[in-house]
Amino acid sequence: MIRRNRFEVVGQSLVFAAGVIVAVVFVSIMVMEFENARKLSDAVNENMIELTAAVRDSTVTMYDGVKVLGADVLNFGRKYFGSASVACPFVMKIITDSGQSVVVSDSEGLKELVRVSGLGTAPGAVDLTDEYLGSVSQNANGIITEVSFTKV
């Protein structure tokens, strides 16, 4: 049997205890870093969702405060309301110089608008060569609810 010195056993015990403490500190740091990485990933994901929505809506919000021709108004309607299978999340309102307003919310409403616009003087018709001022309305969540074109 090998005899050990008491100081040798104490030294080995201290080295073992220090190793356990270092391991616990290392594991704690790893858990904290994992949580930080998860929070960062969530923040980046949220920013990407907001950026995607902003890019998607930019094709509509570009009409806010911009003067366009009546032909552009009809083309806007064709782009967003031309398909009967895709529901548009907002409505298009056209305000004539007499104050009359026409609301388009689906492809049938657009077909009627295009039909009467070809007549020129029909009530609610869009004159293809006149200028219209675009305006975009959003709700409190930033979702586009209405795009209006007012004849100027």
pLDDT tens sequence across 73-125: 999 988 888 877 777 788 999 988 777 888 888 888 888 888 877 665 666 67
AA letter at 37: A
Out of 1-5, 82-86, 136-140, pick the least confident.
1-5
The rounded mean pLDDT for the chain is 86
AA letter at 108: E
What pLDDT, on the 0 to 100 scale, is given for residue 121? 61
Taken in order 90, 94, 100, 105, is the CA torsion positive or negative?
Answer: negative
Reading phi first (left if > 0) and then psi (alpha if -120 to 50, else beta), residue 99 is in: left
**3-class secondary-structure state, position 137:** strand
pLDDT of 19 > 80? The answer is yes
What pLDDT, on the 0 to 100 scale, is given for residue 16? 93
pLDDT of 55 > 90? The answer is no
Helices 70-81, 107-117: inter-axial angle, 10-degree rounding: 160
